[in-house]
Amino acid sequence: MRMTYREAIRQAMHEALAADARVFLMGEDVGKYGGTYACSKGFLEEFGPERIRDTPLSELGFVGAGIGAALGGMRPIVEVMTVNFSLLALDQIVNTAAALRHMSGGQFSVPLVLRMATGAGRQLAAQHSHSLENWYAHIPGIKVLAPATIADARGMLGPALADPDPVAIFEHAQLYNMEGELPENWRCDIATAAVRRAGTDISLITYGGSLPKALAAADQLAAEGIAAEVIDLRVLRPLDTATIAASLRKTHKAVVVDEGWKSGSLAAEVMACIVEQCFFDLDAPVARVCSEEVPIPYAKHMEEAALPQVPKIVATVKQVLGK
């Protein structure tokens, strides 16, 4: 079946709402407006205001309400419009949701799913173009997912809702209009990375909105006789280091592509894991392609220059290969 990334997310939420009365959706504009990215269009009419809840503009408040509902036995899906707005709820997420199992000695769990749009590329300038997934991947007590395909957009929500602990799902806003076939085997786990393209010369390791760019770069490299393996991390916490290591033991070289800023990036964590586990398998230093160390510009040409792009990925691969 052919569908958009947006429709895959919508179908996943619809299935969850229809199957389990404990599941409800809350967030800004999720009801009457149908969601900022139209992922909940029609839900209010079908499921009613008790289960599709428009909230005030207070992330601290409604994320906290979601945590309370999860503690009370519900399975809330809390939608935060964009990742920058989640900063207003960091105290609830980090100090409450992520920590309650530990602080209660295992007596309490917080089965909360937190969905949010992330990433740049839409000319929304410095305040609405962040990629802060690595901030959340730093926190023990939560799982962090970054679906980059139609199948993962459809398949990750179910196991996230079944998880007894908080799960944050980062949906790159550039992917919502992406269209493709939903495979029959779309169900997936939320523990492993995926090899999206096999190769033998170098490993391209990425996630989220950078996956299409990494695949496009691999296509260009293939035309020049370079076989790049593309790994979609898709689960940012906990990292599937086994899949990364298996690829490195085959290719012996790696480039990490990450839309986050270079300093303190998820790319840095992946590179550290490679050095810790695969140092003697490497034939060249690991490289990374990240966003420039500036607030994301508004002007289109400047925004494009600030973000990882296919030509830079290709050039970095050739540099690592000594070509």
Q: Are residues 139 and 81 in the same domain?
A: yes
Residue 7 annotated in active site: no
Q: Please tell me the total count of domains within the chain.
A: 2
Exactly one of 7, 28, 59, 133 is catalytic; which is it?
59
- pLDDT, position 65: 98
Name the catalytic one among 128, 171, 172, 229: 128
Q: Would 20 be classed as within a structural domain?
A: yes
Same domain? For 168 and 19 the reply is: yes
Phi, psi (deg, nearest 5) at residue 262: -65, -45
Q: What digits encode the pLDDT tens for the residues 211-246?
A: 999 999 999 999 999 999 999 999 999 999 999 999
Q: Which structural domain, as residue segments, surrounds residue 241?
A: 194-321
How far is 64 from 111, CA to CA, in rounded Å?
13
Residue 117: per-residue pLDDT = 97
The arrangement of strands across the sheet holding 228-232 comes to 194-197, 228-232, 202-206, 254-261, 287-291
- Looking at residue 320, its pLDDT comes to 98
Contact 146, 160 (CB under 8 A): no
Q: Which pair of structure tokens corresponds to residue 134?
A: 């690595």
14 part of the active site: no
| Tens-digit pLDDT profile for residues 130-177 | 999 999 999 999 999 999 999 999 999 999 999 999 999 999 999 999
Single residue among 120, 154, 181 that ends a domain in this structure: 181
Distance, C-alpha 30 to centroid of its chain:
20
User: Which domain-ending residue is among 181, 215, 234?
Assistant: 181
Are residue 201 and residue 171 in the same domain, yes or no?
no
